Amino acid sequence: MLSLATAGKEDTDDHVDMLIKRCLNPRHPKSFFLYAGAGSGKTHSLVEGLKAFQQDHAVSFRRSNRKVAVITYTNAACEEIIGRVEGSSLFHISTIHSFCWLQIKSFHDDIRLWLQKSLAVEIEQLRKEQEKGRANTKTAVEREKKILNRSERLAWLTERREFTYNPNGENIGKSSLSHTEVLKICADFLVSKPSFQQIVITSYPFILIDESQDTNKNLIEALFTLEAQHQGRFGLGLIGDMMQRIYGDGKADLGVHIPEWWEKPIKQMNHRCPSRIVKLANAIRSENSQHHQKFIEGNGDGTIRFFIAPIHADRSSFEVLVKSSMWELTGDAFWSDDREVKHLMLEHKMAATRMNFSAMWDALAASKHLTTRLYKGELPALKLFSEAVLPLYQFQKAGNSLAVMAHLRSVKCPLLTPDFLKKNINLTNPLTPVKDAVHELVELISTKPGVSFKEVLDCIVRHGLFVLPSSLALLLGREENTPDDELETTEIEEESKGVSASEAIENFLNTPFNQIEAYRKYVSGQATFDTHQGVKGREFDRVMVVMDDDQAGGFLFSYEKMFGVEPLTKADKDKINKGEETGLERTKRLFYVTCTRAKKSLALVAYSQDPPLLKKHLIDMRWFEEHEIIIKNA
């Protein structure tokens, strides 16, 4: 297993770039799925294809007002590609939500009809759940509010309306669409409306999707339908690696069901990792994929060590010992500087514990329906504090009054609206209400170190300083008839199945506000700690991957099971027999992604209930040499 990698040259994959250029031919468009493993340079191939397209077809496309659509997973990825193509207007580069909204935004009547049908189904589902559930519980009360909320929105839709959406912010009000609704509506229109299809393929004869393995399943399937119905006129390009699939709403079998008429190029080279890490990566994916990468000749061997500690070990002391050992092994003094080592947690909870925001994290993570947006930093209830309150507090404490006012305007503070200011025209200073609100809020946070999110929220509500996201308004009895991405109808759960979304948010409000700064730093990628979600597509010289089932506290992943220390459960075996995905596959993908971030050296840290057994199984798996596995006591 350890020899599963061979050397290759820098130009080994040049033919793949040429193939993509040929696929992007408007006269004979050809769809393709580009397999691009870790460090393969997929963005380079994409950009090279776009540059060649611009050179050959820019004049004709601009004359006919057509563009190539490039869809990425994050705003950061958008900015990177925009920069590489020098902002060319020939390409529409955006996230999937922005792209979908652009396509549907003018179809107000069709959106209204879609919402009417969808809301009717949701209300019926809610009523059935209400009949089955126990009365007078928190879940029942919450469900009744949802029924009322959706019924009022449905009544509002009896008249013609216009709709709004912000892909990067809050969507508040009856006319606002949720992130989920935008994707569902676009996918439905792509399949059910021939006129909509014609508009899309005429405007965008090519749609290219990066990180396609994590793109919403319904949308991917709709685009497959669109491509099949318009062969010869439209080309769909998917770029990805199923081994790097992270989010649960992607199409799990995407790599298997690629149409036979598509091109299926494979990038063989790993330009990032040294040979030893490429060999490990190939070993990890060998059971799930035959796509083995090559390392660049002369790129060095690199260093891997697998450190094992007993489950009761002191984490902080042991991880300091690991970094000291890596310095000694590699001769790289930067291992002694935390700022130069990327610490990757395969569970966010582990980073939350180390960065001291575990109380707020645990409260929200208790509801499985909030976790994805919690991981991404996109939970509206949290963004009120991380994006509105925290910067305001920091600007005010720094004495930067200009920044305070600019920030309040940017977040659309209700106390600065023209209507509100007109009402206070008789005051000596119409800005007095906003100044008083800011002063009281900052004073509260400054003088009470343990102040809770709820106390901060009460201050905001008392002064009307910020617009509340619908989930918080609902808890406070100030709910709007709005779509609510935190409390999706499809996410309704019986009280016996765990903590509801609203209960989790309520519990979160009782945790300390002072944890929000560390959380914000973490989800924005500014911390030395990160996870697979935050680092996919990125690379670091020195990487330390921490595996700790006990501290992770989750059930989706298990490193002890993956390494054979903990036996499979009956449920695991049943899923395997049915061909369903288990935590083993999910854990292996996370492990693969984190290991392949390292450019020079990689430290793997595992806390195990049986260190000797773990070492034995690692040797039996043949992922590591015996001298690479070190058991230490901290």
pLDDT-derived band at 3, boundaries 50, 70, 90: low
Q: Tokens 């969507």 label which residue?
A: 171
- Domain carrying residue 211: 11-104+182-267
Strand partners, 305: 603
Q: Tokens 């999707």 label which residue?
A: 209
Q: How many CB atoms lie within 10 A of CB 376?
A: 13
The reply to whether 279 falls in a domain is no
If one counts the domains in the chain, the total is: 4
Whose CA is closest to 550, among 593, 508, 610?
A: 610
Average pLDDT over residues 593-598: 94
pLDDT-derived band at 493, boundaries 50, 70, 90: very low
Please check the confidence at residue 494 and state whether its pLDDT lies above 90.
Answer: no
For residue range 44-60, what is the model confidence (pLDDT) as tens digits? Answer: 999 999 999 999 999 99
Rounded CA separation 478/457 (Å): 13
Answer yes or no: do 381 and 503 share one domain.
yes
Instruction: Let me know the angle formed at the C-alpha of 352 by 250 and 302, rounded to the nearest 5 degrees.
Output: 70
Rounded CA separation 216/96 (Å): 9
Answer yes or no: do 414 and 487 share one domain.
yes
DSSP state of 172: -
DSSP reduced 3-state for 140: helix
- What is the overall mean pLDDT for the chain? 89
The reply to whether 570 falls in a domain is yes
Strand order of the sheet with strand 7-8? 7-8, 294-296, 269-270
Please check the confidence at residue 534 and state whether its pLDDT lies above 70.
Answer: no
Please check the confidence at residue 67 and state whether its pLDDT lies above 70.
Answer: yes
Average pLDDT over residues 511-520: 96
DSSP reduced 3-state for 22: helix
The sign of the dihedral angle between the CA atoms of 402, 406, 408, 414 is: positive
Contact 285, 592 (CB under 8 A): yes
Rounded CA separation 536/211 (Å): 10
Average pLDDT over residues 31-51: 94
Pairing of strands 342-345, 529-531: parallel
Rounded CA separation 425/448 (Å): 34
Q: Which helix (H) or strand (E) holds 606?
A: strand 598-608
Rounded CA separation 394/404 (Å): 9
Answer yes or no: do 486 and 382 share one domain.
yes
From 215, 249, 267, the end of a domain falls on 267
For residue 491, what pLDDT is reported? 36
For residue range 237-271, what is the model confidence (pLDDT) as tens digits? Answer: 999 988 888 777 778 778 788 999 999 999 999 99
Rounded CA separation 547/8 (Å): 32
Rounded CA separation 362/364 (Å): 6
pLDDT-derived band at 488, boundaries 50, 70, 90: very low
Rounded CA separation 591/612 (Å): 21
The reply to whether 291 falls in a domain is no
pLDDT-derived band at 477, boundaries 50, 70, 90: confident
Average pLDDT over residues 208-220: 91
Whose CA is closest to 501, among 363, 378, 384, 348?
A: 363
For residue range 381-414, what is the model confidence (pLDDT) as tens digits? Answer: 999 999 999 999 999 999 999 999 999 999 999 9
Buried-exposed string 305-337: b where 16+ CB fall within 10 A, e elsewhere: bbbbbeeebebeebbebbbebbbebbebebbee
Say which CATH number the domain at 247 has.
3.40.50.300
The reply to whether 280 falls in a domain is no
For residue 376, what pLDDT is reported? 78
Answer yes or no: do 334 and 379 share one domain.
no
For residue 490, what pLDDT is reported? 34
Strand order of the sheet with strand 342-345? 529-531, 342-345, 540-547, 598-608, 303-310, 629-631
For residue 435, what pLDDT is reported? 94
DSSP reduced 3-state for 25: coil
For residue range 101-159, what is the model confidence (pLDDT) as tens digits? Answer: 999 999 999 999 999 999 999 999 999 999 888 888 878 888 888 899 899 999 999 99
Most distant CA pair in the chain: distance in Å?
81
Whose CA is closest to 29, among 236, 189, 306?
A: 236
The reply to whether 43 falls in a domain is yes
Tokens of 39: 């460090």
Q: Tokens 């291992």 label which residue?
A: 335
Please check the confidence at residue 489 and state whether its pLDDT lies above 70.
Answer: no
Which residues have C-beta within 8 Å of that of residue 539, sequence separation ≥ 6? Answer: 39, 272, 597, 598, 599
Strand partners, 270: 295
Whose CA is closest to 495, among 140, 146, 123?
A: 140
From 243, 267, 291, the end of a domain falls on 267
Residues comprising the chain, all counted = 634
Rounded CA separation 565/559 (Å): 9
For residue 88, what pLDDT is reported? 95
DSSP reduced 3-state for 266: strand
Answer yes or no: do 375 and 507 share one domain.
yes
Rounded CA separation 14/21 (Å): 11
Rounded CA separation 306/328 (Å): 15
Answer yes or no: do 460 and 430 share one domain.
yes
Answer yes or no: do 556 and 452 share one domain.
no
Q: Which of 47-61, 64-78, 317-331, 480-494 has the lowest mean pLDDT?
A: 480-494
Answer yes or no: do 420 and 479 share one domain.
yes
Q: What percent of the chain has pLDDT over 70?
A: 94
Rounded CA separation 94/260 (Å): 28
The reply to whether 173 falls in a domain is no
The reply to whether 177 falls in a domain is no
How far from each other are the two terminal CA atoms of the chain, in whole angstroms?
31
DSSP reduced 3-state for 631: strand
pLDDT-derived band at 462, boundaries 50, 70, 90: very high
The reply to whether 297 falls in a domain is no
Answer yes or no: do 381 and 438 share one domain.
yes
DSSP state of 243: G
User: Based on the number of CB atoms within 10 Å of its own CB, is 520 exposed (0-12), middle (13-18) or buried (19 or more)?
Assistant: buried
Tokens of 479: 């709910």
Whose CA is closest to 598, among 320, 342, 346?
A: 342
Answer yes or no: do 494 and 562 share one domain.
no
Model's pTM, two decimal places?
A: 0.80
Tokens of 64: 């006919």
Give phi and psi for 28, each to the nearest 5. -140, 70
Please check the confidence at residue 348 and state whether its pLDDT lies above 90.
Answer: no
Answer yes or no: do 453 and 542 share one domain.
no
Answer yes or no: do 211 and 64 share one domain.
yes
DSSP state of 230: T
Rounded CA separation 103/85 (Å): 23
